Structure 1
Amino acid sequence: MKNDQIKNIIFDLGDVILNIDVPIASKSFADLSGREQAEILTIFKESEIFRQFETGTMDEPSFRNYVREILKFPDLSDEAIDTAWNSLLLDLPPERVELLKKLATKYRLFLLSNTSSIHITQVNKILKASTGVERLEDLFEIVFLSYEMGLMKPDTRIYQQVLDKAGLKAEETLFLDDNADNIRGAAQLGIETIHVQKPVTILEYLQDYAV
């Protein structure tokens, strides 16, 4: 149900705007290295490589070198690593972008994503190919990315930074995310939330807001 107090909408990226399938990445790295997918998942979890990359403590060259190190595969090319890492990024339905354009006539729109620079480069390519829109910044007033902020959802500090930087009041702000922990983090600050759960999409969740 529509909340008439809402003036601002913050969107997550993966499985909210862009369809993703996270396990595909670990399978891609397993195929590259000749290891089992379960082993790859364990290696990545223990090294916290993706957390480091997505909070900006590791840049692109460091990330790629660390992948080579933990997979014990020194000859792995930059391109192969990037392709495997980006394999979890699927399609971006054009109708979701059309919804964003419609919402932008009534609300201030923002993006808040736990992500990495390699992913954002690829997302912008997918966005342009599917909709003609050059980059995410063309759809949102401000794009907030974890690797630039040094924080990740569901840390409440990341939501507070968004509110402060954009000059938003929590009670006038709606946040959509597919991760329940991220929803709870935002709700702790008094932000209105919608937990996006497939197969329902933002087209249905925000139908009343787009009218």
Structure 2
Amino acid sequence: MSKPEIQVVCFDLGGVLLRCVDGWHHACERAGLPMHESLIDPANRNTIVSASNQMEIGAITPQQFTEQIAAVSDYTAAEAMRVLECWLLDLYPGVEALLERLLGAPITVALLSNTNAAHWQIFEAEPCYAPVMRIPHLFASHQVKARKPNAAIYEHVETALGVEPQSILFFDDLEENINGAVWQHWHTERIDPAKDTAPQIEKHLARYGVTI
């Protein structure tokens, strides 16, 4: 069986290129705040998840998100913002070198991330994230106004890049996002965020005939 002709390598961010905290407990610890059970109370879960999703499509601002968190928890909006800003960690080992080599290869490189304006501001400001921000095609959910696994965001990438879906190789750590891309006829590989991701990515690139 011949290898597909890959024209675009597209990455998710958190859990693929970037390490993130392991949930609210970890984020609160990094923010220097106690973990209040109200934050993970099942009665509040739908409100928090819905607000997060709305923030990720730019329907509400991070400030409005933290105000909604404050309304259903024991945190102030300012404290909730501190927790939100502590969600991001560092790049996985080897990712910077991998991206440098990939950006020098004759292939289009893109990023497709469910994110928000607060995190994006950090990505743009902090030098440690510069290797990711050098990716030439950055698709952030809060700017596109759609989030994975909604078909609209995958279609936006195809249109913006002017490529057929079958020419895209996509890496993500979440099954639902992989399934959304498969539905669009993208080639996909799921990454295990609990392990170093660069070796996983390199192995898959080689299988698809992408030489870096």
Q: TM-score scaled to structure 2, two decimals? A: 0.81
Distance 1:17 1:3, change over 3 A: farther
Q: Provide the residue aligned with 2:171 in structure 1.
A: 176
Instruction: Return the offset for 1:82.
Output: 2.6
Instruction: Return the offset for 1:160.
Output: 0.7
Distance 1:35 1:81, change over 3 A: closer
Q: Aligned letter for 2:112?
A: L
How do residues 10-25 of structure 1 correspond to structure 2 at under 5 angstroms?
A: 10-24=10-24
Q: Provide the residue aligned with 2:199 in structure 1.
A: 203
Distance (whole Å) between structure 2 residues aligned to residue 25 and residue 163 of structure 1? 37
Aligned 8 A contact 1:19 1:91 in 2: yes
Q: Provide the residue aligned with 1:68 in structure 2.
A: 70
Q: Provide the residue aligned with 2:59 in structure 1.
A: 57
How do residues 136-175 of structure 1 correspond to structure 2 at under 5 angstroms?
A: 136-138=132-134, 140-175=135-170
Instruction: Return the offset for 1:103.
Output: 0.9
Aligned 8 A contact 1:124 1:136 in 2: no
SS of corresponding position for 1:64 = helix
- Number of residues paired by the alignment? 202
Distance 1:189 1:39, change over 3 A: closer
Q: Aligned letter for 2:44?
A: I
More off after superposition, 151-160 vs 80-89: 80-89
Aligned 8 A contact 2:63 2:77 in 1: no
Aligned 8 A contact 1:99 1:203 in 2: no
Same amino acid, percent of matched pairs: 23
Instruction: Return the offset for 1:174.
Output: 0.3
Structure 2 unaligned regions, length at least 5:
none
Aligned 8 A contact 1:53 1:147 in 2: yes
Aligned 8 A contact 1:55 1:150 in 2: yes
Instruction: Return the offset for 1:4.
Output: 5.0
Q: TM-score scaled to structure 1, two decimals? A: 0.82
Aligned 8 A contact 2:123 2:133 in 1: no
Distance 1:166 1:25, change over 3 A: farther
Instruction: Return the offset for 1:167.
Output: 0.8
Distance (whole Å) between structure 2 residues aligned to residue 60 and residue 12 of structure 1? 21
Distance 1:26 1:152, change over 3 A: farther
More off after superposition, 10-19 vs 59-68: 59-68
Stretches of 4+ aligned residues off by more than 4 angstroms: 29-34
Deviations 1:49-85 (A, max 9, x none): 1111111110133223222223265xx363x333211
Distance (whole Å) between structure 2 residues aligned to residue 100 and residue 70 of structure 1? 41
Distance (whole Å) between structure 1 residues aligned to residue 100 and residue 140 of structure 2? 21
Distance (whole Å) between structure 2 residues aligned to residue 137 and residue 82 of structure 1? 23
Distance 1:164 1:177, change over 3 A: same
Aligned 8 A contact 1:60 1:118 in 2: yes
Q: Aligned letter for 2:98?
A: L
Distance (whole Å) between structure 1 residues aligned to residue 20 and residue 44 of structure 2? 22
Q: Provide the residue aligned with 2:98 in structure 1.
A: 99
SS of corresponding position for 2:94 = helix
Aligned 8 A contact 1:9 1:173 in 2: yes
